[in-house]
A and B are shown apart, each in its own frame.
Chain A
Amino acid sequence: MIKVDITRKAYGDAPVLGHIAFEIRRGETVAILGPSGIGKSTLLRSVAGIDDKYEGNIERPENMAIVFQEPTLLLWRSVLQNLTLIHPHLSDRAAREMLGKVGIADKADLFPGQLSLGQQRRLALARAFAGNPEFLIMDEPFVSLDPKTAEVMLALTETLIDEVRPATLFVTHARSEAERLMARILELRGIPATLVPRLVSGKEIP
């Protein structure tokens, strides 16, 4: 269970986030929506523990994974090592299996720079799911992809989420992506940003 209860976050004197509280259960996907510049990334960085200068309290598990907008790989290590160095308990065989799942099994011994951008993003996904995370954070992972590739990546993400069942926090500005991943949608609005109440759609009622 992830519990977020931020009371305030500011850069200097400029407040960015107001009171924001929500929870994510294991297996649940939560999407944070909002226009660009509203503070989505700031919220995500606080929740991920990258930026701990906020007021409030966040409970998160040890075993986390993150997917950034950019692949953010170790370009100087092989594709396989990009999994095994990040997850020291992962065996070579399990790592190769994971590469197979995202469709780049034959690239294991290359350097990431030798892959296409799409393949690099697949590797970033493989890295995220290889550790069976309890909490997965995704920061606009499909932005700047052409629609066809974005669709393939979405489907792949969907499959992997179904398999690993982490609590997922997903930041995007595309409502369609959030709906596609069956996410509970939270919207950020205002300065400082807070969550806006919204109507519950039919399919969420049990």
Chain B
Amino acid sequence: MTEKGLVPALSLIGLLLLWIVAAALTADPTILPTPWSLIMPFLNELQSGELLFHLGHTLVRVVWAFVLAMAIGMALGLVMGRFPRVDRWLDPWLVVFLNLPALVLIVLCYLWIGLNETAAIIAVTLNKVPNVTTMIREGARSFDPNLDAMAKVYRMAPMARLRHVLLPQLAPFVAAAARSGVAVIWKIVLVVEFLGRSSGIGFKIHLYFQLFDVRMVLVYALSFIIVMLIVEWTLLQPWERRVRRWRTA
């Protein structure tokens, strides 16, 4: 294994060792169970289909909220970055929404829309849109004016301009927004499920929290962390490498 792969692996093993030591010192499985004592409950949940059912529900919500937040945030960020007049009008809104606690938005969405899937996804989306907007706006402000002039003189079609001139310049900002987006969104999805859904990882964690079952809370939380790591390694990082290819070539 190369050093690049070795260091993260060793660092994760270190974290695992820390857990084992802490579990040994605690010596109380109802507070902190050992890593291996999670394996059996994990396999049971996997076999019964419970785990996959709830994982699936959470994942669908994450994907919906992610796609919506990225699409709306990118559109808003582009417009605000390109047109200072729009920016002056919308910027105060952005500040308000950036500082609105996630919990408030979630509760209000449930109260106004009802305890349903739409409210859950809208709540998560609204929580993430201001972040994406801010990051994309920064990117849209740093567009190369010469490329703009070039595209204008050569009369490039608007779609071609967006796809081949603007979005590639935006790629690093989109990648950053997507990275932090996925991480934040799945955490908020769990809160949304905790508060008002009867499926998903957040719902199960709520359930086992009421039963004071630390082991099951860990089983469900860790399962989803693993899924998100797989998404990061198999989707986000390869995509980022692909759009960065021209820099390293």
Give me the interface of A with B, judged by CB distance under 8 Å.
45, 48-50, 62, 64-66, 68, 70, 72, 74-77, 81, 85-88, 110-111, 113-114, 127, 131, 137
> Which residue of B154, B245, B246, B249 contacts A66 across the interface (Cβ within 8 Å)?
B154
A113 near B247 (CB under 8 angstroms)?
yes
B164 near A77 (CB under 8 angstroms)?
yes
Chain A neighbourhood of B247, CB < 8 A: 113
Tell me the bound Cα distance from A67 to B160 in angstroms: 20
B148, closest chain A residue (CB): A50
Chain A neighbourhood of B164, CB < 8 A: 74, 77, 81, 85
A-B pairs, 7 with minimum CB distance = A76-B168, A66-B153, A50-B149, A111-B246, A76-B246, A72-B146, A111-B249
Chain B neighbourhood of A131, CB < 8 A: 154
Residue B241 at the A interface, CB < 8 A?
Answer: no
B146 near A70 (CB under 8 angstroms)?
yes
Q: How many Å from the CB of A181 to the closest CB on chain B? A: 20
Tell me the bound Cα distance from A70 to B144 in angstroms: 12
A85 near B160 (CB under 8 angstroms)?
yes
Q: Give the residue among A48, A50, A81, A88 with the most B Cβ atoms within 10 A.
A: A50
B163, closest chain A residue (CB): A85
> Which residue of B153, B156, B157, B165 contacts A137 across the interface (Cβ within 8 Å)?
B153
Tell me the bound Cα distance from A19 to B89 in angstroms: 38
B210-225 interface bits toward A, Cβ cutoff 8 Å, 1 = contact, 0 = none: 0000000000000000
B169, closest chain A residue (CB): A76
Q: How many Å from the CB of B159 to the closest CB on chain A? A: 11
Interface of A is mostly: loop
Chain A neighbourhood of B152, CB < 8 A: 49-50
B151, closest chain A residue (CB): A86
Tell me the bound Cα distance from A66 to B164 in angstroms: 18
A63, closest chain B residue (CB): B155
Query: Given A85-B156, A113-B246, A131-B154, 13 more contacts at CB 8 Å?
Result: A50-B153, A64-B153, A68-B146, A72-B146, A72-B149, A72-B150, A74-B168, A76-B171, A76-B243, A77-B246, A88-B160, A113-B247, A114-B249
Chain B neighbourhood of A62, CB < 8 A: 155
Tell me the bound Cα distance from A86 to B161 in angstroms: 9
Tell me the bound Cα distance from A173 to B168 in angstroms: 34
Chain A neighbourhood of B144, CB < 8 A: 72
Chain B neighbourhood of A49, CB < 8 A: 152-153
Chain A neighbourhood of B90, CB < 8 A: none
Residue B147 at the A interface, CB < 8 A?
Answer: yes
B157 near A88 (CB under 8 angstroms)?
yes
B153 near A65 (CB under 8 angstroms)?
yes
Tell me the bound Cα distance from A127 to B150 in angstroms: 11
A64 near B149 (CB under 8 angstroms)?
no
